[in-house]
Amino acid sequence: MILDNATKSPIFSHIATMIRGLDTIKAYKMEKQFWLRFTKLQDENSSALFLYGMVLEWTSVIPGMAALSLAYAILIGDMMQSAVRYIVESEARFTSVKRIMNYIGVSQLSGFIGQDLESEAPGIIEHRRPPTGWPEEGSIAFHEVNVRYREGLPLVLKNISFEVKPQEKIGIVGRTGSGKSFLALVLFRIMELDGGSITIDGIDISTIGLEDLRSKLSIIPQDPVLFAGTVKYNLDPFNMYRDKDLWSALRNVM
């Protein structure tokens, strides 16, 4: 049931995306690609639902056999069948509990929303604001950086030190789970350091507010996502730039 719930959400999201962008899909003749994506998501959900049904059928046989062995002397069969059903349903309900626990574990969420969570730094620290125009060059330096998921767990990044010079492009190569994505997480201070420091143009990013830091950085995710709304909202969700600037940015990437 957990797999069924997990694979059902992408189907609904994909359908909603197709409905919202139906005209664009037809204009670019992308119907086949979206249909193939839908059938793939549907197959994944159907596989999970089929396995859930098979497990449910298999477990429901056990109470019946127990009741038969007792020659229906007592109603233990019905009781066991109900117990199995309640266990399976409880496991399905715990999908929501699992998601809530995941959100509870997220400590770095504030910044632009105007409210600072108790567990993280404020968005702006008035007496530690970076200079106007920072960063001017864009050099980044990691100094003996240590990071762990949470206190008590082993280090994910251990004594990492390197420097990225201004306008320099680098590539980070490593196996899955080696900690590559953590370099971006600590750069945005989504995760705080367990030791060491990170400087941008000579300023330790742990000493400034999260809004001052994150407003100067940008990231291109591996899987691009457009939020619901207009192109303008996706480019400028905080309404900080003029339409002229947005059009200029679009022309530069076309």
Domain containing 139 — which CATH number?
3.40.50.300
* CA-wise closest residue to 147 among 138, 157, 137, 139: 157
Instruction: Give me the pLDDT at residue 23, please.
Output: 84
DSSP label at residue 154: P
What is the rounded CA–CA span in Å between residue 94 and residue 89?
9
Indicate if 68 and 141 belong to the same structural domain.
Answer: no
What is the rounded CA–CA span in Å between residue 34 and residue 158?
43
Estimate to the nearest angstrom the gap between the alpha carbon of 100 and the chain centroid: 14
Indicate if 99 and 131 belong to the same structural domain.
Answer: no
Instruction: Give me the pLDDT at residue 63, please.
Output: 63
Indicate if 90 and 27 belong to the same structural domain.
Answer: yes
114 domain-assigned: no
Indicate if 78 and 160 belong to the same structural domain.
Answer: no
CB 111 within 8 A of CB 211: yes
Indicate if 66 and 146 belong to the same structural domain.
Answer: no
Instruction: Give me the pLDDT at residue 253, please.
Output: 84
How confident is the prediction along the chain (254 residues), in pLDDT tens digits per residue?
677 777 888 888 888 888 888 888 888 888 899 899 999 998 888 888 887 777 777 766 566 666 666 666 666 667 778 888 888 888 877 777 777 777 766 554 444 444 444 456 788 888 889 998 899 998 999 999 999 887 888 888 899 999 999 989 999 888 887 888 888 889 999 888 989 999 999 999 999 999 899 888 888 877 777 777 888 888 888 888 899 999 999 998 87
Q: Provide CB contacts within 8 A for 145, sequence distance 6+.
A: 157, 159, 160, 161, 186, 193, 195, 196, 197, 198
Indicate if 152 and 241 belong to the same structural domain.
Answer: yes
Q: At 20, is the secondary structure helix, strand, or coil?
A: helix
Instruction: Give me the pLDDT at residue 81, please.
Output: 80
Indicate if 22 and 98 belong to the same structural domain.
Answer: yes
Which of 104, 139, 159 finishes a domain?
104
Indicate if 90 and 179 belong to the same structural domain.
Answer: no
Indicate if 94 and 195 belong to the same structural domain.
Answer: no
Which of 55, 74, 104 finishes a domain?
104
Domain hosting 28: range is: 2-104
> Where does residue 85 fall: left (phi above 0), alpha (psi -120 to 50 degrees), or beta otherwise?
alpha
Indicate if 15 and 89 belong to the same structural domain.
Answer: yes
Q: Which two tokens stand for residue 243?
A: 């339409």
What total of structural domains would you count in the chain? Answer: 2
97 domain-assigned: yes
Indicate if 185 and 236 belong to the same structural domain.
Answer: yes
Task: Report the run of H or E that residue 88 belongs to, with start and end.
Answer: helix 76-104
One-letter identity of residue 199? T
Distances from the Cα of 234 to the Cα of 14, 221, 246, angstroms: 18, 14, 11
117 domain-assigned: no
109 domain-assigned: no
pTM surpassing 0.75? Answer: no
